[in-house]
Amino acid sequence: MSRGKILITPRSLTLEPDASLQLLEKEGYELVFTRAGELPDEKELSGHIPHCVGWLAGVEPIRRHILERAPRLKAISRNGSGIDNIDLEAAKELNVKVLRSAGANARGVAELTVALVFNLARHIRYSDTAVRHGDWKRKKGMELKDRTIGLIGCGSIGLQVAEICLGLGMKVLAYDVYPSNRFSKNPSFRYVDMDFLLKNVEVISLHCPPASKPVMDANALEKMRQGGIIINTARSSLIDHDALLQCLNSGQISGFATDVYDQEPPKPHPLFQHINVITTAHIGGYTKESATRAARQAVENLIKALEQ
């Protein structure tokens, strides 16, 4: 006899179910999948969730009115670290536990971050676009050795970005409310205040949680060194996109790469069409290894929560 239904919504798992989902079936739960590889809409969620005791969730918005349609729901387990897509106040009021797979996708996001730094530093997208259109245009790039990267937020992802960048011979300045001592003996790494970081780096990478207002607003962008580059694999709301577009057009910022958006797919914006901007489809944690780690942790968290 089934112990209840579990809703599976992460796009990576509906497209290619991970072996760890079998643990839920062995525990006696029935798995319910949304459309393969697609972000479920509210109509689809509303049709499934009233019958479920658990939810293995992705990045889809989980709002109050959806949770109010789920009288049997006991726990939501994210297959990632971010839970700002969930109405946490509503979940608490309705006695629904919310769990996250902290750090499971950190390596995937960190490696994508550094890949995007290389891409902007060597103008790879610009060169690729030119050659594809029959042009032979080149921009002089910069080598990363001895350059300084600033990490705004230095948790599990930021620390791995720092490790890779230090291995490349870069210097790292970091700003974080809770400093780690992991690189305390490395002279090429140090924590600084935000103002110092903005003024003393060639590259900025964002790895902090969402804030009430953009971290990189017009004022912060103007403080950066002329020609700096910015990477955002954290949250779209951390950057004022209109202000950033102006800085790209003026040359104050030479390049921007983002893997995150206000909604997926994103609404059209001139920023995303700029020749010095790289856009990726939220692929930071979309690696075989990250997906496996995140799914396993999310499943284990869910089983434990439902047993309590």
264 and 142 in one domain?
yes
Task: Indicate the pLDDT class of residue 218, thresholds 50, 70 and 90.
Answer: very high
Is residue 82 predicted with pLDDT exceeding 90?
no
73 and 39 in one domain?
yes
What is the average pLDDT score of the chain? Answer: 96
Task: Specify the pLDDT at position 156.
Answer: 94
Task: Specify the pLDDT at position 143.
Answer: 97
Token pair of 16 as six digits: 């290619």
Is residue 217 predicted with pLDDT exceeding 80?
yes
Print burial letters for 283-306: b (CB count within 10 Å at least 16), e (below 16): ebbbbeebbebbbbbbbebbbebb
Distance from C-alpha of 128 to C-alpha of 141, rounded to nearest angstrom: 14
146 and 60 in one domain?
no
Task: Specify the pLDDT at position 1.
Answer: 67
| Integer CA distances (angstroms), 265 to 38, 233, 259, 296, in order | 11, 15, 11, 27
Instruction: Centre a 10 Å sphere on the Cβ of residue 26 and count the other Cβ atoms it contains.
Output: 9
Write the pLDDT tens digit of every residue in 14-54: 999 999 999 999 999 999 999 999 999 999 999 999 999 99
261 and 213 in one domain?
yes
Our answer to whether residue 282 is catalytic in this structure is yes
Q: Which of 78, 235, 241, 296 is the catalytic position?
A: 235
Write the pLDDT tens digit of every residue in 226-245: 999 999 999 999 999 999 99
Token pair of 106 as six digits: 């950190």
Structure letter (DSSP) for residue 95: T
110 and 16 in one domain?
no
Task: Indicate the pLDDT class of residue 154, thresholds 50, 70 and 90.
Answer: very high
Q: Which of 16, 93, 264, 289 is the catalytic position?
A: 264
- Taking alpha carbons only, the member of 117, 197, 187, 125 closest to residue 154 is 197
Task: Indicate the pLDDT class of residue 56, thresholds 50, 70 and 90.
Answer: very high
Question: By residue range, what is the domain housing residue 54?
Answer: 4-104+287-307
Task: Specify the pLDDT at position 81.
Answer: 84
187 and 85 in one domain?
no
Task: Specify the pLDDT at position 308.
Answer: 82
Write the pLDDT tens digit of every residue in 94-103: 999 999 998 8
Backbone angles phi, psi at 174, to 5 degrees: -130, 145
95 and 158 in one domain?
no
151 and 43 in one domain?
no
70 and 197 in one domain?
no
As for how many domains the chain has, the answer is: 2
Our answer to whether residue 123 is catalytic in this structure is no
125 and 56 in one domain?
no
159 and 80 in one domain?
no
- Taking alpha carbons only, the member of 148, 157, 152, 223 closest to residue 189 is 148
Contact 205, 152 (CB under 8 A): yes
| Integer CA distances (angstroms), 64 to 82, 99, 291, in order | 18, 17, 27
100 and 9 in one domain?
yes
Our answer to whether residue 274 is catalytic in this structure is no
The enclosing domain of 237 has a CATH number of: 3.40.50.720
